[in-house]
Amino acid sequence: MPDAQISDKSPAAAPVPEKPPIPQAAAPKSGGEKPETESNMYPVGIAGVDIHQSRRDVPEGEPPPLAINDQLKSIGKPTPRVDGRAKVTGAAKYTADVKLPGMLYARMLTSPHPHAKIKSIDTSAAEKAPGVKAIHLLDHTFGMAQEKGEEGNKYPLVRFAGQPFAAVAADTQQHADNAARMINVDYEILPFVTDIEKAKQNDAPLVFAGQAEQKGTAGGGGGPAGLSQSGNVRGPAKGGNKQDGGIDDAFKDADVVVETEYHTSVQTHCALETHGFVADWKPDLLTVWASTQGTGSVRDELAAVFNLPKSKVRVITEYMGGGFGAKFGASNPGVLATHLSKKAGAPVRLMCDRKEEHLGTGNRPSSNQKYKIGAKKDGKLVAIQCTNYGTAGVGTGAGATAVAQNIYPCPAIYTEDYDVFTHAGPAAAFRAPGHPQAAFGFEQSIDELAEKLGIDPLALREVIDQSEARSVERKIGAEKIGWSNRKPAGSDAGPVKRGIGMAQAIWYRSSNRDSHCEVRITQDGSVELLSGVQDIGSGIRTVLAQVVAEELGLKPSDITIKIGDTSYPNGPGSGGSVTTNSITPVARDAAWKVKQEMLKQIAPKLGARADDLTLADGKVASKSDPSKGMSFKAAAAKLDTEQIAARAQRVQDYPVTEDQQQQQPQLAEGGGQRRRGRRGAGSGGLGGVQFVQVAVDTDTGVIKVEKVVAVHDCGRPMNPLTLTSQINGGIIQGLSYALFENRILDRNTGLMVNPNLEQYKIAGAKEMPEIEPIVIEQYWGRSSTDAAGIGEPATVPTAAAIGNAVYNAIGVRVRQTPMTPAAVLAALAQKDSSNGRSA
């Protein structure tokens, strides 16, 4: 399988200084004064295309500009994971593996009914069951929309099958499982609705009788607040520049109009490690091991629920087995585990089982998107309209119009998103919330527009797309996939037809200012970095080691990375692809500061000036007198005290001027695109273009994805090895979404019929295409590392690209996910019958 291609060519233009200029004033001014800025030149542009120097006024105390990757030693080099050994030997301890002395095991009790009132709960038999130590009943369900005025009820109303409301802790898992079954619940069963079309009708059973709201999460779940609600339909959430009217008029200027419709099904996250917690309640400290994407978010929720100061809650996530957006906060299992631990006076482990995981811990909402797109003959967009209805079950946030709103500039855009409540598990943020479904609809609609205009889909995007990165990516990808050999739709002879398609991604380059690090150097020469940030599999642990190693002239393996613990400085939650953008500049800032301190202390001992010293290749050396120098270890031994340390926090993105924004629209705050993220430190756009080759068997309806070429940008690539792993992952989840995944609810019982991993099919080894991930190196000059994320953009366009390739293969659109064999055959049959009619 080909590896990543990180351009290692020297940039064609604009030389980068050999050594970054030393800023005039390095040390921050002491107290009270207005922060000063200093002005430096930063590399900006795309490596191999054009790199030039651009001026930025940055806060004083920032490290000097970092050269582009090919001039660096650690950053940008493919670096195997520093925790690889722990992972391949089974030594890595996940929450599911934590075992404390005297620890109890818990099992939740969940509702078997989709809609019911709990009249009474009898726990007497369960209390007497063998090994039982504690039982807790919830008076509130977390992680779903809340109806105003319901807070006083003794038991929460059951609104979906799988809703947890109690848990038992016992000495063994088997005892806990048995006892949970012995809790007697008297339900008053109520009428329910799980079908979105039925739920929209006036006489449908109501999921929420009154106004319901759901707070957004750090990962981007939940929907906008305060929308109108009528029956089960909430919305519209409006978007675009024509929210106050005028969209109909705008279409008058169009030479060509396409109207399209696309549907996507509900997808569940299926992280291999389920949601789970080990809670250890002690009077002076609550310690919780959590399988989470945000140690801070778990701490914050538990502190609020149990009325504890945040300083008395410690959350630890050393390793976690996948989250994909659904693992923020403590939610029901975390709150239950903590209650049980408090009651039992012993640590309690609560891991959801696979069925609970499917039913109640989150999903990607469905969508039903209707588009109307108008364009001039030359392809220029004049108007875009989209209406979407989706269900997030008992949650909100089924929006799927973000791609239509944000990817291509257009003088008239109007979108409406409606959430339709159903008696089904709540949605949660899921890798690029709203975007894969939106791209599936919108990027296929753009191909439909291209066809109607008689313009090649790639050529149309050259006309409508402003993104410099995507333009470069299209060229690279088109070449690799052999776009020029692409045949007319459905033109292959024989039953197995091949096709090529492409689609584009949009995501946002956002970050979280709540990102802190401490870097320490100890006299024995050891170096460590501490931060609350967690590694959810993206490899941030390794990237942090690279950053510190780069600054201190060491190897990544020399750096000890201690993360995933709220007793370290606050780390960002890993949602919205913010982690690398948020925390790597902080790591560099802290490493640079501690380096300055080290050089200051060592300089007199070497008889040199501190600003004449450098750290490189494991040594301290004088720039002017090469005879003066010593190993890093020897230098550390000469520190004045046992340990020196520096802390840093994420600064705002370096500001850019109006002129610079005009030259590069993506540099703009928001970049004409939505600003996301909690306490964002600034944002801009990310692109990504994927090309797909498929083979469709028109006899069986089976789609085989044969090849994917994915060309992405994420600012400065930090670790090409783990980065391309994430791109593979995004593509594979997108492929799985496009072809297989569907949470099936039986409309007669309201129950999920496939809450497992054999009937809820996710992509496996046999379905793997050849995948070629390619990363372009793009510099913005916006932070001390200039890095951005990749996890989400990599999954945005895949399903859409497969859809476009399928159309190219068989000449008919399959307008839904999953594109099952049955759906393919149905689409082919429809085409045949309409051909028959017209003939």
Partner 1 sequence: MSNRTDRGGLSRRGFLKGAGVAAATTALLDRSVEALAQENKESRSVVGPGAVAITLKVNGQHKDFQIEPSATLAEVLRVHADMTGTKIVCDRGSCSACTVWIDGKTVCSCMTLAMDARGREIKTIEGLAQGEHLHPVQEQFIEHDAMQCGFCTPGMIMSCANLLERNKQPTLDDVKQACSGNLCRCGTYPRVFEATLAAAKQMKGGNGNA
Q: Which residues bind partner 1 (CB under 8 A)?
A: 1, 80-81, 83-85, 87-94, 96-97, 99, 173-174, 269-273, 319-322, 324, 353-354, 536-539, 721-722, 724-726, 728-733, 756-759, 762-766, 768, 771
State the Cα–Cα distance between residues 646 and 598, nearest whole angstrom: 10
Rounded to the nearest whole angstrom, what is the least distance from the CB of residue 353 to ligand FES in the complex? Answer: 11
583 binds, among partner 1, ligand FES, none (CB under 5 to 8 A by kind): none
CB 281 within 8 A of CB 497: no
CB 387 within 8 A of CB 400: no
Rounded to the nearest whole angstrom, what is the least distance from the CB of residue 579 to ligand FES in the complex? Answer: 16
Rounded to the nearest whole angstrom, what is the least distance from the CB of residue 695 to ligand FES in the complex? Answer: 27
CB 581 within 8 A of CB 510: yes
Q: Quick one: which of 276, 537, 750, 781 contacts ligand FES (CB under 6 A)?
A: 537
CB 179 within 8 A of CB 126: yes
Rounded to the nearest whole angstrom, what is the least distance from the CB of residue 87 to ligand FES in the complex? Answer: 8
Between 170 and 763, name the residue whose CB sits nearer to ligand FES. 763
Q: Quick one: which of 225, 272, 304, 634 contacts ligand FES (CB under 6 A)?
A: 272
In order of 400, 415, 433, 692, the CA distances from 403 in angstroms are: 8, 10, 11, 20
State the Cα–Cα distance between residues 119 and 156, nearest whole angstrom: 10
| Phi, then psi, of 287 in degrees rounded to 5 | -110, 130
Between 81 and 513, name the residue whose CB sits nearer to partner 1. 81
Between 165 and 324, name the residue whose CB sits nearer to partner 1. 324
State the Cα–Cα distance between residues 826 and 165, nearest whole angstrom: 42
State which of positions 751-790 bind ligand FES (CB under 6 A).
Answer: none
Rounded to the nearest whole angstrom, what is the least distance from the CB of residue 80 to ligand FES in the complex? Answer: 15
Please report where in the chains the tokens 């096709």 appear, as a residue.
499
State the Cα–Cα distance between residues 27 and 4, nearest whole angstrom: 39
CB 237 within 8 A of CB 414: no
648 binds, among ligand FES, partner 1, none (CB under 5 to 8 A by kind): none
Rounded to the nearest whole angstrom, what is the least distance from the CB of residue 792 to ligand FES in the complex? Answer: 16
Between 91 and 272, name the residue whose CB sits nearer to ligand FES. 272
Between 222 and 729, name the residue whose CB sits nearer to ligand FES. 729
Rounded to the nearest whole angstrom, what is the least distance from the CB of residue 737 to ligand FES in the complex? Answer: 16
Rounded to the nearest whole angstrom, what is the least distance from the CB of residue 766 to partner 1 in the complex? Answer: 5
Binding mask 816-835 for ligand FES (x = CB under 6 A): --------------------
State the Cα–Cα distance between residues 223 and 239, nearest whole angstrom: 13
194-233: string of b/e by CB count within 10 Å (b at 16+)?
Answer: bbbeebbeeebbbbbeeebbbebbbbbbbbbeebebebbb
422 binds, among ligand FES, partner 1, none (CB under 5 to 8 A by kind): none
What's the first-to-final CA gap in the chain, in angstroms? 47
State the Cα–Cα distance between residues 556 and 554, nearest whole angstrom: 7
Rounded to the nearest whole angstrom, what is the least distance from the CB of residue 537 to ligand FES in the complex? Answer: 5
Q: Confirm or reject binding of residue 433 to ligand FES (CB under 6 A).
A: no
HEC-encoded secondary structure of 526-541: CEEEEECCCCCCCCHH
Binding mask 690-729 for ligand FES (x = CB under 6 A): ----------------------------------------
Between 192 and 324, name the residue whose CB sits nearer to partner 1. 324
Between 756 and 833, name the residue whose CB sits nearer to ligand FES. 756
826 binds, among ligand FES, partner 1, none (CB under 5 to 8 A by kind): none
Q: Which residue has the CB atom at the shortest distance from ligand FES?
A: 272
Binding mask 316-355 for ligand FES (x = CB under 6 A): ------x---------------------------------
Rounded to the nearest whole angstrom, what is the least distance from the CB of residue 560 to partner 1 in the complex? Answer: 18
Give residue 355's Cα distance to chain centre: 23
The site that binds ligand FES (CB under 6 A) totals a number of residues, namely 3
- Describe the crossing of helices 540-552 and 579-606 by its angle, rounded to 10 degrees: 30
Could you tell me whether strands 267-268 and 313-316 are parallel, antiparallel, or unpaired per DSSP bridges? unpaired
Shortest CA distance to 343 belongs to which of 352, 331, 335?
335
CB 450 within 8 A of CB 284: no
Residues that bind ligand FES (CB under 6 A): 272, 322, 537
